[in-house]
Amino acid sequence: MTITLNGIGKKFNTEWIFRNLTSRFETGERVVFTGRNGSGKSTLLQVIAGNIHHTEGSIEYSLNGRMISDTEIFRHLSLVAPYQELIEEFTLREMLEFHFSFKPLVNGFTVPKIIDLLSFSQAKTKPITKYSSGMKQRVKLVCALLSDTPLLFLDEPTTNLDKAGIDFYLNLVNDHAKGRTILVCSNMQLVESGFCDQEIRIEDYK
């Protein structure tokens, strides 16, 4: 999946969050968006994901040489973000079965295998509302990283994770993100996005 940003900008009321951003993300590239809190990293990611409309410029998506419309891009991406919600009334199995009814699983995985991978043996039959914040983040991570999509968007992916949780996240990326176009929003660049090969500083586009 290739994404081309042509001079995009986003304005809320009279304030420009970013503007004149031109870049191209090729298949398999790993890019981190950096900047202080409130600088617009998450807004940029949501604009690229098609969740928020940009104010100026244009975005083009291409998959194997075929253009993808901005209304269809959601079918080709997986997202992890602090503002993303789980259905907390569901048990773990119910949540995973629901999610993967919309997104295909990566080869070799099934819902039972994911449950085993998470190792929530004492909590797998409890509703997700009973999970700790770190456990919920791990569920978000497996839903995104084990979905077979060419785009992977990670907004502060280590939120609420301890050292073991961060290792879990990095292992998922190492094992299941090869060949995917990855965009990361990060304030903890070395921890969350040390695997990225390109950086875009949001403050450079004010």
Residues 186, 33: contact at Cβ < 8 Å? yes
Query: Going from the N-terminus, what domains does the chain have, and what CATH number goes with each?
Result: 2-205 (3.40.50.300)
DSSP state of 159: T
Beta strands, E only, the chain: 2-12, 15-25, 30-34, 56-63, 66-68, 77-80, 151-155, 181-186, 198-201
Render pLDDT for 45-73 as a digit per residue (tens, 0 to 9). Answer: 999 999 999 999 999 999 988 999 988 99
Residues 78, 84: contact at Cβ < 8 Å? no
Q: What is the pTM of this model?
A: 0.94
Rounded to a whole number of angstroms, the CA Rg of the chain reads 17
Render pLDDT for 119-165 as a digit per residue (tens, 0 to 9). Answer: 998 888 999 999 999 999 999 999 999 999 999 999 999 999 999 99
